Amino acid sequence: MAAEPYSTESIAFRSALDVIRGVEPRVADAISAELADQREMLKLIASENYASPAVLLAMGNWFSDKYAEGTIGRRFYAGCRNVDTVEALAAEHARNVFGAAHAYAQPHSGIDANLVAFWAVLSQRVETPGLARAGVRQVNDLSEQDWAQLRAEFGNQRMLGMSLDAGGHLTHGFRPNISGKMFDQRSYGTDPETGLLDYEALRATAREFRPLIIVAGYSAYPRLVNFRIMREIADEVGATLMVDMAHFAGLVAGKVLTGDFDPVPHANIVTTTTHKSLRGPRGGMVLCDDSLAEHVDRGCPMVLGGPLPHVMAAKAVALAEASRPEFGAYAHRIVDNARALADGLLSRGAKLVTGGTDNHLVLIDVSGYGLTGRQAEAALLDAGIVTNRNSVPQDPNGAWYTSGIRIGTPALTTRGLGVQEMDEIGGLIHAVLSGTTAAAAPKGGLSKAHHVLDPAVADQVAKRASDLLAGFPLYPGIDLS
């Protein structure tokens, strides 16, 4: 019997690996091993997903060889007509998918997107009364003396963002990130009893602190944010409302989050990554209203290096995919699966921050198992379940060891797993955490880092996880054997 012919996708990736293997076989082997690992693991990291073969292939081409500083039609290098095409397509798809007035597809990452947004807002605010009297209207018109004055004023600008332990992100004004050095930052948190956002407390803080920028959005908050209220608060104190939707952009694109919970109609400026729930390449993007568009478009060279045209090509492909009806169905399944996973954990006695979820992620407080987040993360990995540790509100273990595990459903939903499988996965997680104990530290006492997982539990869970995934193959059209 003749062998089955390879699919187009298999031929494409096999050929690419053969070419790479001819130069550095160890890189080709590592790429193949990564696919094998991802096929075998229950990927529950909330910020990860699986890009389509079309998105992956769009990144490996001659666009990688092209410099394209500047913006569409206004480049600092010649020969960028094809880059203009793919960047314009990415921006067009983004505007259509999200209903945005303006889209900027150049940021290399979410952090870069946030930097572009911060500087766009600051640049717009150059038109302050003091500088207006000096006749200064545009950043490009500033003299060295003007910049000296502006630097002093920028150093006094204030940002109000969600606290890390409540689910915020480092790029929302915290010291390890440049945003914490650019701005005088203050945090808003959640109600200590419910874990939910307290909008009236946030309003009171905004009235007292008078920030230039209020940042909404999160990386570990399992509920929805009312962006209409956030905009009301920002307008009341004269602040710009910036929303970082990196985690939930796919839910916005898929029309799961609408009305008050869709940030785009309410925010002045929105940033996002293009991977995570959006299922595109690793990169960033900025959406904004018309008043900020010209400032956002100066992202390169203001804070960005040369754009990555090959990644912008992949963004255009991913956003085209996100415009299809099937993406909306996928986005709704993400939330259905997250709720089923939360219910599966709760029914087995796990403690969840806010008691459940309304979005794509679940935050487990593992202190009830006698573990730190770092111990739980390592134990779950031993059993073939990939997660990441995360702080919980008022976390006694700090941001390194933590007391929580953050899990999400975008990746497994891409593989086709549904609510029945999510309930069982909740049971597998509970089994691992229940079968793990804190280990002794080298100098006595219990360690926050070390753990002991019952080998029988590890083997049983790993086998069941493998059996589950066998029914939902990853990239079934790709055969590298």
* 275 and 331 together in one domain: no
User: Is residue 461 included in any domain, yes or no?
Assistant: yes
- Tokens encoding 391: 């702080």
432 with 339, same domain: the answer is: yes
Active site residue 235: no
**In the structure, what pLDDT confidence band is assigned to residue 243 with cuts at 50, 70 and 90?**
very high
pLDDT at residue 135 in the model? 37
Q: Which residue has the higher pLDDT, 127 or 337?
A: 337
Asked if pLDDT for residue 272 goes beyond 50, the answer is yes
More confident: 287 or 138: 287
Averaged pLDDT, 375-396: 94
Report the pLDDT value the prediction gives residue 153, as an integer from 0 to 100. Answer: 63
227, part of any domain: yes
Catalytic residue among 67, 125, 184, 294: 67
Contact status, residue 5 vs residue 474, Cβ threshold 8 Å: no
| Residue 368 covered by a domain | yes
Asked whether the beta carbons of 74 and 68 are under 8 A apart, the reply is no
128 pLDDT above the threshold of 70? no
Catalytic residue among 39, 282, 348, 351: 282
Q: How confident is the model at residue 129, as a pLDDT?
A: 44
For 166-222, how does the pLDDT look when each residue is reduced to its tens digit (9 = 90+)? 667 666 666 667 666 677 788 888 898 898 999 999 999 999 999 989 999 988 899
Q: Distances from the Cα of 182 to the Cαs of 176, 263, 293, 295, in angstroms? A: 11, 24, 22, 18
In b/e form, how buried is each residue of 201-234, taking b as 16+ CB within 10 angstroms? ebbebbeebebbbbbbbbbbbbbbbebebbbebb
Over its C-alpha atoms, the chain yields an Rg (Å, rounded) of 24
Question: Which pLDDT belongs to residue 303?
Answer: 85
**pLDDT at site 143:** 67
Nearby residues of 347 by Cβ (< 8 Å), 6 or more positions away: 423, 426
What integer is the mean pLDDT of 387-404?
Answer: 91
Domain end, chosen from 322, 338, 359, is at: 322
Residues 411 and 456 in one domain: yes
Contact criterion met (CB below 8 Å) for 153 and 128:
yes
Position 259: which residue type? G
Note whether 432 and 380 are same-domain residues.
Answer: yes
| Residue 139 tokens, joined | 């950043």
95 classed as catalytic: no
- Report percent pLDDT > 70 for the chain: 90
The pLDDT mean for the chain works out to 90
Residue 354: predicted pLDDT: 95
Tell me: do 296 and 318 sit in the same domain.
yes
List 87, 165, 244, 395, catalytic entry: 244
What is the pLDDT confidence band of residue 465, given thresholds at 50, 70 and 90?
very high
* Whether pLDDT at 130 is above 50: no
Same-domain check for residues 318 and 329:
no
**Mean pLDDT lowest among 73-77, 106-110, 341-345:** 73-77
| Residue 87 located in a structural domain | yes
Query: Phi, psi (5° rounding) for residue 44?
Result: -120, 15
Own/partner contacts of 388-392, CB < 8 Å, gap of 24 or more, are 388/45, 388/46, 388/47, 390/220, 390/363, 391/164, 391/165, 391/220, 392/165, 392/353, 392/363, 392/365
Average of per-residue pLDDT across 51-57: 96
Query: Residue 41 above 50 pLDDT?
Result: yes
The reply to whether 69 belongs to the active site is yes
Peptide bond into 301 cis (omega under 30): yes
How is 27-62 classified by DSSP, letter by letter? HHHHHHHHHHHHHHSEE--TT-----HHHHHHTSSG
- Domain final residue pick, 306, 322, 338: 322
Predicted confidence band at 387 (pLDDT cuts at 50, 70, 90)? very high
pLDDT of residue 148: 63
Which of the residue ranges 161-165, 299-303, 442-446 would you say has the lowest mean pLDDT?
442-446
Model pLDDT, residue 150: 61
217's CB contacts (< 8 A; 6+ apart) are 162, 169, 172, 225, 243, 244, 245, 246, 247, 248, 263, 271
Task: Enter the tokens of residue 445.
Answer: 């006492």
* Residue 127 in this model has a pLDDT that exceeds 50: yes
Q: pLDDT tens digits for 407-447?
A: 999 999 999 999 999 999 999 999 999 999 998 877 767 78
> Residue 113, exposed/middle/buried by CB under 10 A (0-12, 13-18, 19+)?
buried
Beta bridge partners of 217: 244
> What's 75's domain CATH number?
3.40.640.10
As a whole-number percent, the residues of the chain with pLDDT over 90 amount to: 73
- CA geometry: angle 70, 74, 80, nearest 5 deg: 80
Where residue 126 falls among pLDDT bands split at 50, 70, 90? low
Question: Which residue blocks in 106-196 are alpha helix, DSSP H?
Answer: 110-124, 129-133, 144-154, 179-182
The pLDDT of residue 441 is 76
Q: Within a domain: residue 83?
A: yes
pLDDT at 136 over 60: no
Instruction: Identify the CATH number of the domain in which residue 394 sits.
Output: 3.90.1150.10
- Condensed to tens digits (0 to 9), the pLDDT of residues 308-332 reads 999 999 999 999 999 999 999 999 9
Say whether 273 is catalytic.
yes
Domain identity same for 260 and 360: no
In a domain, 301, yes or no: yes
Residue 348 CA, distance from chain mean position:
29
The CB density around residue 358, as the number of other CB atoms within 10 Å, is: 19
382, 293: one domain: no
How many Cα atoms are found within 13 Å in the side-chain-facing hemisphere of 304? 34
Q: How far is CA 187 from the centre of its chain?
A: 20
Q: Which of 322, 344, 364 is the last residue of a domain?
A: 322
Query: Same domain for 207 and 333?
Result: no
Q: Assign 131 to helix, strand or coil.
A: helix
Is 304 inside any structural domain?
yes
At 133, the pLDDT band (50, 70, 90 cuts) reads very low
**Residues 372, 234 share a domain:** no
274 included as an active-site residue:
no
The residue annotated as part of the active site, out of 171, 240, 271, 273, is: 273
Does one domain contain both 318 and 411?
Answer: no
Q: Tens digit of pLDDT for each residue in 147-160?
A: 566 656 665 688 89
Strand order in the sheet with 388-390: 351-352, 361-365, 404-408, 388-390
Nearest to 231 by CA among 216, 220, 218: 216
The single residue of 43, 223, 276, 415 carrying the catalytic annotation is 276
Q: How many domains does the chain have?
A: 2
Q: How far is CA 158 from the centre of its chain?
A: 24
Q: For residues 214 and 252, state if they share a domain.
A: yes
Distance CA 377, CA 451 (A): 10
Q: How confident is the model over 27-37, as a mean pLDDT?
A: 95
Token pair of 30, please?
Answer: 């590592």
User: Is 48 domain-assigned?
Assistant: no
Q: What is the pLDDT at residue 123? A: 82
pTM: 0.91
Question: What is the rounded average pLDDT of the residues 82-106?
Answer: 97
Set 48, 69, 153, 294: catalytic member: 69
- The answer to whether 282 is a known catalytic residue is yes
State the residue range of the domain holding 355: 325-470
